[in-house]
Amino acid sequence: MEHKLAKLDEKQANEVRVQIMRALRNQKPQTSNLTRGKRMALRNLRNDHSVVTTKSEKTTMDRTDYEKKALEYLSTGQYEKLPEQKRRAILHKTQAFTAKLLHELPPKLSKSQLFQLYPKTCCPARFYGLPKIHKPNIPIRPTVD
């Protein structure tokens, strides 16, 4: 938000900040659409480590079955675990390429925009599976993000 406000003069930017803060302070707390009993049941499921609750929290599955099916996908050879050294090499290569590009663009970008574009760490993709509960044997859909 601040990078957009930087384009306005100081007085206008401060007025917008005040309006935003006022709107946030006056916001009414959301009322839950779940009963107290359902909220407690959901909390108990989240705290039960023998059950996997999927990202969307629409499905639960036994943890041992989930881990077994996920390991089956990972052992097919389509996925590989990147060693730390290779991840660092990819990060350094990406940083060098980005630095080269950013040196060509400075007149067009602010310092904060340049900082946002420069990669600082390398986060490898994360694998998880979404259970297909409508199919027999409940297979999982592999997802990498």
User: Would residue 24 count as lying in a domain?
Assistant: no
Q: Please classify residue 113 by burial: count the beta carbons closer than 10 Å to its beta carbon, then call 0-12 exposed, 13-18 middle and 19+ buried.
A: middle
> Tokens at residue 73, please?
């996908």
User: Would residue 14 count as lying in a domain?
Assistant: no
Percent of the chain topping pLDDT 70 = 95
The domain in which residue 141 lies consists of: 48-80+125-145
As a whole number, the mean pLDDT across the chain is 84
Q: Model pTM?
A: 0.50
Residue 106 has pLDDT above 70, yes or no: no
- Are residues 116 and 92 part of one domain? yes
User: Would residue 41 count as lying in a domain?
Assistant: no
What pLDDT score was predicted for residue 113? 79
- Are residues 137 and 118 part of one domain? no
- Are residues 74 and 130 part of one domain? yes
- Are residues 87 and 64 part of one domain? no
Q: How many domains does the chain have?
A: 2
- Are residues 76 and 132 part of one domain? yes
- Are residues 110 and 53 part of one domain? no
pLDDT mean over 120-142: 84
Residue 137 has pLDDT above 90, yes or no: no
| Residues in Cβ contact with 19 at an 8 Å cutoff, skipping those fewer than 6 apart | none
pLDDT mean over 113-122: 80
Q: Using CA atoms, how far apart are residues 67 and 16, in angstroms rounded to an integer?
A: 49
**Banded pLDDT at 38 (limits 50, 70, 90):** very high
- Are residues 138 and 72 part of one domain? yes
| Residues in Cβ contact with 114 at an 8 Å cutoff, skipping those fewer than 6 apart | 102, 105, 106
Q: Using CA atoms, how far apart are residues 122 and 138, in angstroms rounded to an integer?
A: 34
Residue 57 has pLDDT above 70, yes or no: no
Return phi, psi of residue 130, to 5°: -105, 120
What pLDDT score was predicted for residue 25? 86
- Are residues 55 and 72 part of one domain? yes
- Are residues 89 and 70 part of one domain? no
- Are residues 139 and 115 part of one domain? no
User: Would residue 104 count as lying in a domain?
Assistant: yes
Residue 42 has pLDDT above 90, yes or no: no
User: Would residue 11 count as lying in a domain?
Assistant: no
